[in-house]
Structure 1
Amino acid sequence: MIPFKLSDGLIEEIELLIDSKSDSALRMKMEDFHYADIAEIINELNFEHATYIIKLLDSEKTSEVLTELDENIREQILSNLSAKEIADEISELDTDDAVDIIAELPEDRVNEIIAQIDDKEHARDIVELLRYDEDTAGGLMAKELVKVNENWNVLTCVKEMRRQAENVTRVHSIYVVDNDEKLKGRLSLKDLLTTSTKAQISSVYIPKVDYVTVHDRAEDVARLMSKYDLEAIPVIDELGRLVGRITIDDIVDVIKEEAEKDYQLAAGITQDVEADDDVWVHTKARLPWLLIGMFGGLGAASIIGSFQGAMANPILLSFVPLIQATAGNMGVQSSAIVVQGLANDTIRGELFKRLGKEFILGLINGCAIALVVLIISHFLFQTSYLVSATIGVALIAVIIIAALVGTFVPIFLDKKGIDPAVATGPFITTSNDVFGILIYFTIAKLILGF
């Protein structure tokens, strides 16, 4: 299979076919493209051309295309489609994908679309999923699955599986329920094929099965599926009834979104933003952390101002950027490792043991850096032994404190239910800048006596 590659020439060709209303040629051109490739093409077209393609192609294909489009493009296209046209698209999708699309629309528009869906069972499933928060297992799950009753025999089970499988895109697992629809276990296809057709399912199924509840957090679901390498996981309600399943493609999206959010938080952006969002959205997302950084800088300036004796020593002042940069870098390194460990659920053991480990790491790194700086400062800057010693001792202390702060803060925030990713970036950098300056000049005052 030749990988799809988007080019200016292809875009120009498609635009020409649209402008000339060469529908047959355009359909033939799009026929062999994967729906994800068509979405990539549409993202590069203007609104009118994008809508033209969606209306031209069959809903069986365009429904999947809609799920892959950029949110802004999809919103524009849907605003130009009638409720019936959107309902036709929704009817071709699994319930989880259908909900992802219509949940972005106004409530009155959603009600109008659902009323136009011909398959009333499909419509009821969509309405049920819309009740769940999008960041929970209930908001992630799809209603399409294959389930069998523990009281059936194998022959009845196979017949029912064939019927149900017609509405399921991929059959990852066969779940077993009782007469009250409560999840009992899962069924091995091998056991099913090698067992007498008269045997009861209750004697064949595997009672051990991993599951999540409708209100479990999406991040917890992702962690569970990643830990046990699951392709799908069943979802139960408060009564233990099987109500849906979550597949690996949905979890990949969760992991991607969480990584993007953590990356932005680490960079000092307080809300989810896209590159194409307007200036006001970007300003609201960035300004809070920039203000924190500003106040941190003012705090550092006031600390420097309080050590008047240091003003008379320009060599001492020239090493302030080194102290700040080293403290910030060490703090970000420590916090980044802890945040990653918290996200992967690999942080184990007591907090004091972890802080002790970071103390040793900070001491080793601090001594190594201090030795290099001490040699360079003494021979290159011609500093006195006392000034060189001041810089070296300060560097060791600053690095140790930065490592401890970078480790403690994310763990503390996580225990308080706050995303630990906010600990990295500007927060750690600013706090360690202030601590670094305070420690530096305090040590300088003790050694140099100004």
Structure 2
Amino acid sequence: MQFQLTTEFIEQIEQLISIKDGNALRELLHDLHFADIADILEELTSDEATYLIKLLETEITSEALMEVDDDVREKILDRLSPKEIAAELEEMDTDDAVDVIAELDEEIQEQVIDEIDDEEHAADIVELLNYDEDTAGALMAKELVRVKETWTIAGCVREMRRQAKNVTRVHSIYVTNKEGKLTGRLSLKDLLTASEKAHISDVFIPKVDYVTVHTENEEVARIMQKYDLEAIPVVDEEGILVGRITIDDIVDFIKEEAEKDYQMAAGISQDVEADDSIWQLTRARLPWLVLGLFGGLGAVYVMKGFDEALAKYVELFFFTPLIAAMAGNVGVQSSAIIVQGLANDNVKGSLFQRLVKEVGLALINGVALGLLVIAFGFFVGQERLVSVTIAVSMLSVIIVAALIGTFVPIILDKRGIDPAIATGPFITTSNDIFGIFLFFYISHLILDF
């Protein structure tokens, strides 16, 4: 039966913590999965959560620490000594250990590394810390199963048993030459069916997908998605096998990028969460709101330039929110599709082909919506020329908004800027100004005011 976290259960844990009944707590939590322990930690105060971390076995708490929210983990780590943090890191894979230790101050990092008893584990953590944050080197884990192509099957099995003790999950078996360079992979089926006297060189698969330590995380995600990989090996500049990246690490990366892009599209310039301080939330939101403010002021001055038209054709005033809304909506739709396509590497073909496609799509949508506007004007008794003016203006605005929404993300991407910045307030604000200007300019041409 799946564990259900209830208020009564949390209150029971809080009561046991308050009286420091460690034995009862261990018995109560003994059979729970580390993910359930993580849920419990997030419901407790920082001091209570720290008490549990110190009480339970590090095999469980190290896994639970990786599941809790970053802010919760940071508060717990602040209450642990370097020696206690080191004990948790020793139970983690190197990639997870690096994620945790990277959240600490440099001075504390050095103290924690000095407290790690396993010198090889500590050296691997230090190595991974030196890679750029957004590269495969920083994302990979050092734990893997590697065999040499000169080994016999019998010797390979013995060595694999020894190595597998330090690997949480064995996704793949990688083959290297004497120098440690990646030469292929080994199928478990071929390993089990081959003669014990055969050599790995006789049965291994020489074709293997891999990335280098400097490959960007987005490219790693694209390769693993394209070839449906559960893990991918990582090599250094000389082709020597140095680590692997597993699917769970890529899923976490994709999730973080999606959250970042979603916030950026919504007009939030920093990575924030609902429980962050008012100051943090203000710094993240205010820049885009200022952009929206200036965009709105620009639209006001555009309208002031056509004050005579508004005096003669009052109906135009009431349709300005509609024009602005359509411009913003079409622009956001177009940019969202392009940003998604760029992220998935699905934006193919020349810019001219993209231009023709977007203009065609905008024409179809614009004509359909324009006819609805004319029909609406007919039913409410609006002057026919005014309805046609609004319809033609809307068609023009939709075409321009679609082009802006399409090309701005592509141009940003070509310049190495995150195209997600193009969605949301940026596109909406720019299209509001262009949309209102086009509306009144076309109205000026048709209505002759």
Please report the TM-score for the alignment, with normalisation by the length of structure 1.
0.98
* Matched ranges for 1:83-94 at <5 A: 83-94=82-93
1:402 is matched by which residue type in structure 2?
A
Structure 2 residue aligned with 1:238: 237
Structure 2 residue aligned with 1:147: 146
CA distance in 1, matches of 2:322, 2:239: 59
CA offset digits 1:350-406 (Å, max 9, x no partner): 1111121111111111111111111212331x3211111110100111111111111
CA distance in 1, matches of 2:4, 2:211: 39
CA distance in 2, matches of 1:56, 1:7: 22
2:317 is matched by which residue type in structure 1?
L
SS at match of 1:43: helix
- Indicate if the aligned counterparts of 2:150 and 2:201 stay in contact, CA closer than 8 A: yes
Question: What root-mean-square deviation, in Å, do the aligned CA atoms of Structure 1 and Structure 2 show?
Answer: 1.1
Q: Do structure 1's residue 410 and structure 2's residue 402 form an aligned pair? A: no
Structure 1 residue aligned with 2:370: 370
Structure 2 residue aligned with 1:342: 342
Question: How far did residue 133 of structure 1 move?
Answer: 2.2
SS at match of 1:233: strand
- Indicate if the aligned counterparts of 1:310 and 1:317 stay in contact, CA closer than 8 A: no
Structure 2 residue aligned with 1:356: 356
2:173 is matched by which residue type in structure 1?
I
Structure 2 residue aligned with 1:69: 68
**Percent of residue pairs identical:** 64
- Indicate if the aligned counterparts of 1:175 and 1:183 stay in contact, CA closer than 8 A: yes
Structure 2 residue aligned with 1:59: 58
CA distance in 2, matches of 1:279, 1:111: 33
SS at match of 1:175: strand
1:374 is matched by which residue type in structure 2?
I
Structure 2 residue aligned with 1:310: 309
Question: How far did residue 258 of structure 1 move?
Answer: 0.7
Question: How far did residue 134 of structure 1 move?
Answer: 2.5
CA distance in 2, matches of 1:158, 1:325: 66
Question: How far did residue 112 of structure 1 move?
Answer: 0.8
CA offset digits 1:100-139 (Å, max 9, x no partner): 1111001111111111111111111111111112321111
- Indicate if the aligned counterparts of 2:377 and 2:384 stay in contact, CA closer than 8 A: no
- Indicate if the aligned counterparts of 1:15 and 1:49 stay in contact, CA closer than 8 A: yes
* Matched ranges for 1:209-224 at <5 A: 209-224=208-223
Q: Do structure 1's residue 256 and structure 2's residue 260 form an aligned pair? A: no
Structure 2 residue aligned with 1:293: 292
Structure 1 residue aligned with 2:322: 322
Q: Do structure 1's residue 444 and structure 2's residue 438 form an aligned pair? A: no
CA distance in 2, matches of 1:31, 1:246: 31
Question: How far did residue 317 of structure 1 move?
Answer: 0.8
2:200 is matched by which residue type in structure 1?
I
CA distance in 2, matches of 1:198, 1:359: 67
CA distance in 1, matches of 2:39, 2:104: 22
Structure 1 residue aligned with 2:192: 193
- Indicate if the aligned counterparts of 1:324 and 1:437 stay in contact, CA closer than 8 A: yes
2:384 is matched by which residue type in structure 1?
Y
* Matched ranges for 1:255-294 at <5 A: 255-294=254-293
SS at match of 1:319: helix
SS at match of 2:175: strand
SS at match of 1:105: coil
CA distance in 2, matches of 1:162, 1:77: 36
CA distance in 2, matches of 1:245, 1:111: 25
1:109 is matched by which residue type in structure 2?
I
Structure 2 residue aligned with 1:97: 96
2:417 is matched by which residue type in structure 1?
I
CA distance in 1, matches of 2:377, 2:433: 23
1:271 is matched by which residue type in structure 2?
Q
CA distance in 2, matches of 1:33, 1:140: 29
CA distance in 2, matches of 1:404, 1:73: 44
CA distance in 2, matches of 1:192, 1:42: 43
CA distance in 1, matches of 2:268, 2:309: 36
- Indicate if the aligned counterparts of 1:366 and 1:395 stay in contact, CA closer than 8 A: yes
2:265 is matched by which residue type in structure 1?
A
1:239 is matched by which residue type in structure 2?
E
SS at match of 1:272: coil
Question: How far did residue 287 of structure 1 move?
Answer: 1.4
2:227 is matched by which residue type in structure 1?
Y
1:12 is matched by which residue type in structure 2?
E
Question: How far did residue 92 of structure 1 move?
Answer: 0.7
SS at match of 2:232: strand
CA distance in 2, matches of 1:425, 1:139: 31
CA distance in 1, matches of 2:307, 2:72: 59
2:372 is matched by which residue type in structure 1?
V
SS at match of 2:43: coil
Q: How many residues align?
A: 448
User: Which stretch shows the higher mean deviation, 315-324 or 5-14?
Assistant: 5-14
SS at match of 2:242: strand
CA distance in 1, matches of 2:19, 2:331: 60
Structure 2 residue aligned with 1:184: 183
1:334 is matched by which residue type in structure 2?
S
- Indicate if the aligned counterparts of 2:267 and 2:424 stay in contact, CA closer than 8 A: yes
2:25 is matched by which residue type in structure 1?
L
CA offset digits 1:300-323 (Å, max 9, x no partner): 111111113222121111100000
1:370 is matched by which residue type in structure 2?
G
Structure 2 residue aligned with 1:433: 432
